[in-house]
Structure 1
Amino acid sequence: MKNSVSAFAFVILLGLGPAQAQKKVFPQTPGMVSYTYRNSFQKNVAATLDTIKAFGITDMEFSNLFGKTAADLRRLLDERGMKCSSFGVGYPDLQNKLAEVGQNAKTLGAEFVRVAWIPHQGAFTLDMAKKTVDDFNRFGKQLKDEYGLTFCYHNHGYEFEKYEDGTLFDYIIKNTDPKYVSYELDILWTVFPGQDPVALLKKYPNRFKLMHLKDLRKGVVGNLSGGTPVENDVALGTGQIDLPAVLQAAQKAGVQHYYIEDESPSIAIQVPQSIAYLKNLKK
C-alpha cells in the first residue's frame, strides 16, 4: 500500500496524471468588444464600463466613440484602470481620414487599428481582393510609420470565396505585407462560411494578433453572405464551435488579445455564462 501511495505522489510531483488534467485551457482574462454592449454604451458610457469592469474585464476593443471624444473615453478608462488595446473603424475612415483615425487610436492608448468590413456588392471577387491588398498595405504602412500602430483586418465570412487551391482570404493574407498588415480572427465568421479556424491559425502563425471569441448556435447552416441573425450568437461553449481546440491553436499561433463579442439581445445572461466557461475550461 505504501509503495502504491508513494508512486502516485511521484506521478503528481512530475506534473502528470490528475494534476495535468486540471491545467486551464484559457488562463488569462478575456477582453470585451464594445459592440457587445452597444445599446448600453449609447445610453451611458461610464455605467457600461462599470458593468464590464465588474466582471474583472479591463481590456476593451472599441469600434465606436459613442458620442465622446477619444480623450473623454480615455479618461473614463483610466479612472477605472481599464485600457483600449484595439480601435475599430470603418473602411471609409481609413480611406478619407486616416490621420484622424491614427490620432484617436493613439489618444485611446490602442496598439491596433481594426477594420471589419470591406465595402462590396454581391459576391466578393478577385478584383475586389486585389484592391483590398493594395489598400491594406497602404493603410498599414501609414499607420505603422506615422503612428506606431498595427493595422488588422477582421474577417466577416464573404472573403472565403474559392480561389485556386484556397480562398480569396488566403490570397489577401499571402499578398499583404506582414510588417504592416495583421489580422483579427472572428471565429464565428470563420465557421459560418464553412472554414476551420484551427487550420487557419496553423496555416498563418503570427499573422493573427487579435481574436473575437463567440459561438454559433448549433444546427445553423452558414453561407458566404457575411450575415446571420444576431440570435445565432450563443454563450461560449453552447454552440457548434470547438473552442478548446481554437484557444489552444490561438495560443500557439501568437494571438495577443482575445475579446468576447456577443451580438445577441441576451447578453445579460450569455456574457456571464461565457466568462464562466472560459474560466472553468480545463485540459
Structure 2
Amino acid sequence: MDRRSFINSSGLLALSLPAAKLLDRVPARIKNYGIQLYMVRDEMEKDAPGTLAKLGKMGYTEIESYGGNKGIFWGMPNTDFKKLAADNGLTLISSHYNDSDMAFEKQVALAAQIGMKYLICPWKGPQKSIDDFKRIADEFNIKGEICKKHGLRYGYHPHDYPYKKIDGQLPIDVLLENTDKDLVYYQMDFYYTVTEGQNPQHYLTKYKDRFTLCHMRDVLKHRLLAGSKDESACDLGQGIINYPHLLNIARKNGMAHFFVEQSRYFHETPLQSAAINARYMKNLRLV
C-alpha cells in the first residue's frame, strides 16, 4: 500500500473528525509524558541545569537522554545528573547510547546504578540484505541479555529504513520475529511508521508489549500526500496523526513511556516547540 492509499483508507489519521470532538469523548489522559533531550541539545550543551528547569516547568515529568558530545549524563557523574533531573521534577527513564562512548556493559552498569529503565540502540542504518538484519537481531539478543543481567531493558528505535522492503521483506518484521520478546523492546517512532505508509496500530496490537516506548511528532498533510522525499514534521496537533486514538491503543498494548521529539522548527525555537508539545500532551484526551 502506498502512502496516499494509506492516508485515504486508514482510520488512524485525524483527517475528518475535528480535534475538539476527539478531545471531548473520554477523559483518559497520559499523565507522565517526556521529552528526548536531543530535541533541545544546543540548549543542554550551553546550560543543562537551566534547560532541565524549563522542561520541568513546562509539565514534562520524564526525560530520555542520548549519547551526545558529553555522553548520556552530559559530562556529569551519573548520580549527579539523576539528582539534577529529579530536582526539576524529571525522571531519567532511558537513553539512546553511542557505541563509541565507552564499553557497552559499562554504560549498562552506570544506567542501572541510578535506576534507569532502558538503554536504546538509536541507529543501525540501511543494510544490504535481510540476512544483515537477522545478524543485527542476534546482536540485540546478546545486548538484551547483558541489560537483563543488570536489571535494565534493552531497546531499539527504528527510523525509516526498517520499514523499507529488502529481499521482499520488511526489516522491522524480521527484527521483531528474530528478537526475544523478553530481552528486546522497541521504541515506536510514529512519524516514521506513518510516513513510510505502515499502520502503527497493526504493530502495536500484533506485537503486544514489545513497543513499550515511543517518540512523537506530527506530519504535515500536504507534504505527505505530495510524496515528498523530505517529509515535514510539525508540532503535535498540527498535523494528521491521530494521537488521541493511537496513544490509547499503545497504552492498552504495553506502551508506558511517551517522549516528544520534534526535529524541525518553523517560527519557533526548540524550547518554544517543547512548550507547544507539552501543552498538547497536557490537554490530550485518549479515545
Same fold (TM over 0.5): yes
Using the size of structure 2 for normalisation, the TM-score is 0.80
Conserved in 1, the CA contact under 8 Å of 2:217 and 2:262?
yes
Residue 220 of structure 1 corresponds to which residue in structure 2? 223
Residue 204 of structure 1 corresponds to which residue in structure 2? 207
Larger radius of gyration: 1
Residue 250 of structure 1 corresponds to which residue in structure 2? 250
Is the alpha carbon distance of 1:104 and 1:263 closer, same or farther for their aligned partners in structure 2, counting shifts above 3 Å?
farther
Corresponding position: 1:67 with 2:71? no
1:169-211, CA deviations, whole angstroms, 9 ceiling, x for partnerless residues?
Answer: 1111011001111111111121122212112111111101111
1:10-48, CA deviations, whole angstroms, 9 ceiling, x for partnerless residues?
Answer: xxxxxxxx9x95523534131111111111000011001
Q: State the alpha-carbon separation in 2 of the partners of residues 82 and 167 from structure 1.
A: 36
Q: Which stretch has the larger CA shift, 110-119 or 267-276? A: 267-276
Deviation at 1:91, TM superposition (A): 4.5
Residue 259 of structure 1 corresponds to which residue in structure 2? 259
Give the unaligned 5+ runs of structure 1.
Answer: 1-17
Corresponding position: 1:144 with 2:152? no
Residue 109 of structure 1 corresponds to which residue in structure 2? 115
Residue 15 of structure 1 corresponds to which residue in structure 2? none
Is the alpha carbon distance of 1:206 and 1:124 closer, same or farther for their aligned partners in structure 2, counting shifts above 3 Å?
farther
Is the alpha carbon distance of 1:178 and 1:257 closer, same or farther for their aligned partners in structure 2, counting shifts above 3 Å?
same
Q: State the alpha-carbon separation in 2 of the partners of residues 152 and 228 from structure 1.
A: 27
Q: Which stretch has the larger CA shift, 246-255 or 213-222? A: 213-222
Amino acid at match of 2:140: F
Is the alpha carbon distance of 1:116 and 1:125 closer, same or farther for their aligned partners in structure 2, counting shifts above 3 Å?
same
- Count matched residues: 254
Residue 131 of structure 2 corresponds to which residue in structure 1? 127
Amino acid at match of 1:23: V
Conserved in 2, the CA contact under 8 Å of 1:161 and 1:168?
yes
Conserved in 2, the CA contact under 8 Å of 1:91 and 1:119?
no
Residue 180 of structure 1 corresponds to which residue in structure 2? 183
Q: State the alpha-carbon separation in 1 of the partners of residues 221 and 128 from structure 2.
A: 27
Conserved in 2, the CA contact under 8 Å of 1:24 and 1:280?
no
1:46-70, CA deviations, whole angstroms, 9 ceiling, x for partnerless residues?
Answer: 0010000001212111113332232
Q: State the alpha-carbon separation in 2 of the partners of residues 24 and 262 from structure 1.
A: 26
Where relative contact order (Cα < 8 A, 6+ residues apart) is larger, the structure is 2
Amino acid at match of 2:187: E
Is the alpha carbon distance of 1:25 and 1:236 closer, same or farther for their aligned partners in structure 2, counting shifts above 3 Å?
farther
Using the size of structure 1 for normalisation, the TM-score is 0.81
Could you tell me the percent identity over the aligned residues?
27
Amino acid at match of 1:242: N
Deviation at 1:166, TM superposition (A): 5.1
Deviation at 1:92, TM superposition (A): 5.0
Q: State the alpha-carbon separation in 1 of the partners of residues 242 and 128 from structure 2.
A: 27
Amino acid at match of 1:134: D
Q: State the alpha-carbon separation in 2 of the partners of residues 74 and 269 from structure 1.
A: 24
Conserved in 1, the CA contact under 8 Å of 2:36 and 2:261?
yes
Deviation at 1:217, TM superposition (A): 2.3
Please identify runs of 4+ aligned residues in structure 1 that moved more than 4 A: 163-166
